[in-house]
Structure 1
């Protein structure tokens, strides 16, 4: 595996019911960069993230990871409705750290996404944009090397999308991670991507 690579994809193939989605795909994902994968609907972007994360298995080829610690932001927020904002983030942290460290990290990332004052609210009390911010805070609070993001700003109005993208870039500059972000929006790709691949 190349020294500066977090992920290497080698001759990756995946089909569903005889329909080839990915065919002999080769890709190097550099450490601490934001790699954006774009392309039309149905071209295999989400499938690729699922294979990298281990949610799905490739038909053939190899996925080489420098480290198996992965955070995943899905298209939908996937917050647990019976837990507060704080508890939703704590849920993924409690097995890996003590309460003092957990409190510090949760407060740090909620402050970065401007939601600290909403930490005791439940998902039903949040707007769609606020839920997306919680998902971003949760993903960064978990100490992963690799962050997978599947259309994380989809469905947001332009003003809110711009605000959340700015916050995301601020967090990434503060706390470098290797990011693979899927989008069909080329403007979004150009703003966010250090490297852009089109499928």
Structure 2
């Protein structure tokens, strides 16, 4: 018999419709703790909807989502950086309610160093390349002390060389700071490279 203690998330009999379009139909998946699980499938198959239901951004029609811990970080397809804030301030924005200033400074410096962006900490997003913005989003997600990290096609739109570099930095972060990761993608090579377990959704 398997217990929830073996998992960070359990999905039971999940259904979601948009008008006449059925995107999730009696879905059942268990996501193991401290592993990277990849959800693979074409656009429109319900991958992002599943992440949004797990995070609480979207409500399922029926079914159950069981979480071991409520702390969740989410890396969206878009970087979602606040344009008026510096790199440092964008990360501090999600930390200031849970850390004192000294701890926050230490955590931000740690993760910016790991993604090789320390010298850009006082830059605005408009001064960063697309790859740099993606690295800030990844650093911000790891800086927030969640047990669960959701990633919605986090490497989409990057050229192959840049994608490889950022994936290497992501794996370095993950190995130093293990947590449960659920990532969605339509890229089979990404899934094979990153996934401890891979599930495929169809339309």
Deviations 1:8-66 (A, max 9, x none): 00000000012110000000000000000010110000000000000000001100000
Work out the CA distance in 2 between the residues paired with 1:180 and 1:117. 30
- State the 4+ residue runs in structure 1 displaced beyond 4 angstroms: none
Work out the CA distance in 1 between the residues paired with 2:89 and 2:4. 39
Partner of 1:48: 50
| Match of residue 6, structure 1, among 2, 8, 12 | 8
- Report SS of the residue matched to 1:61: strand
Work out the CA distance in 2 between the residues paired with 1:3 and 1:178. 13
Partner of 1:113: 115
- Report SS of the residue matched to 2:5: coil
| Match of residue 186, structure 2, among 184, 187, 196 | 184
Could you list the runs of 5+ residues in structure 1 that have no partner in the other structure?
Answer: none
| Match of residue 170, structure 2, among 147, 168, 171 | 168
Q: Offset of 1:4 from its aligned partner?
A: 1.0
Work out the CA distance in 2 between the residues paired with 1:3 and 1:104. 31
Q: Does 1:67 align with 2:97?
A: no
Work out the CA distance in 2 between the residues paired with 1:67 and 1:18. 33
- Report SS of the residue matched to 2:92: helix
Deviations 1:158-177 (A, max 9, x none): 00000000000010000001
Partner of 1:193: 195
Partner of 2:93: 91
Q: Offset of 1:179 from its aligned partner?
A: 0.3
- Report SS of the residue matched to 1:3: helix
Q: Offset of 1:3 from its aligned partner?
A: 1.9
Work out the CA distance in 2 between the residues paired with 1:127 and 1:197. 32
Q: Offset of 1:137 from its aligned partner?
A: 0.1
Deviations 1:134-166 (A, max 9, x none): 000000000000000000000000000000000
Could you list the runs of 5+ residues in structure 2 that have no partner in the other structure?
Answer: none
Aligned pairs, number:
199
Partner of 1:138: 140
| Match of residue 131, structure 2, among 129, 132, 157 | 129
- CA-based RMSD of the aligned residues comes to 0.6
Work out the CA distance in 1 between the residues paired with 2:103 and 2:193. 33
